[in-house]
Amino acid sequence: MKIHKEGRRILFVTLLILLALNLLMFQFNRGQDLVNRLFAGATVIIFLLILQFFRSPFRHLFTHEDLLLAPADGKVVVIENVFEPEYFEDERKQISIFMSPINVHVTRNPISGLVKYFKYHPGNYLVAWHPKSSTQNERTTVVVESDAGPLVLFRQIAGAMARRIVWYVNEGDEVSQGEEFGFIKFGSRVDVFVPLDTEVKVELGQKVKGGETVICQLKV
């Protein structure tokens, strides 16, 4: 287990603020030991909650050109055929994974290949399960030409708590399955769009691990 690089500055600043607040409490609230201890305990809990947002556990990664791995930790909330308007402009199979505040917030490449398209979209911060969050929230869209051949689109989507999306890929990059392609600070959701004949390997409500759980198999 390690702390992700995206959280180190936030954790350092948070620690300084909480330490300063505790020093002020003990300075101006002398004689109220119980209150001071309760406040100190509450700040420790707050720090630990923020700390767990930025954990980055070790994962046993494997690669296979026609298998898609989960791009994030969380729960499968959507498996359906939908019209994808941004890039494909036709019907695709959508698999969506919801990341709760207690999940790991690293996002990983579901497949190896060449990045054919990338775009960042500023937007709103609707709750992640809102039907319009996929098209109206802050998000990034990545399209990879997989080593197996088919194009795969995956999308980071911010939610009500997630206020910043970070990405590490650009058009023309070669990406490897399971490696980090970004981070969603304080969670939200990742959508994956694959060809209609793709065989889904997960079920609604199933919990998945990014870089480990196989979510579907491409037809090649």
With helix as H, strand as E and coil as C, how does the chain read? CEECHHHHHHHHHHHHHHHHHHHHHHHHCCCCHHHHHHHHHHHHHHHHHHHHHCEECCCCCCCCCCEEECCCCEEEEEEEEEEECCCCCEEEEEEEEEECCCCCCEEECCCCEEEEEEEEECCECCCCCCCCHHHHECEEEEEEEECCCCEEEEEEEECCCCCEEEECCCCCCEECCCCEEEEEECCEEEEEEECCCCEECCCCCCEECCCCCEEEECCC
Residue 131's pLDDT is what? 58
Percent of the chain's residues with pLDDT above 90: 44
Q: What is the mean pLDDT of the chain?
A: 85
**112, 133, 134, 188: which one is catalytic?**
188
Indicate the pLDDT class of residue 8, thresholds 50, 70 and 90: confident
Can you tell me the mean pLDDT for 203-209?
A: 95
Can you tell me the mean pLDDT for 187-192?
A: 86
Q: Which residue has the higher pLDDT, 220 or 41?
A: 41
- Would the pLDDT of 160 be above 70? no
Can you tell me the mean pLDDT for 186-212?
A: 91
Residue 104's pLDDT is what? 78
Residue 76's pLDDT is what? 95
Active site residue 188: yes
Digit-coded pLDDT (tens) for 116-143: 999 998 876 666 555 566 666 788 999 9
Indicate the pLDDT class of residue 90, thresholds 50, 70 and 90: very high
- Would the pLDDT of 211 be above 70? yes
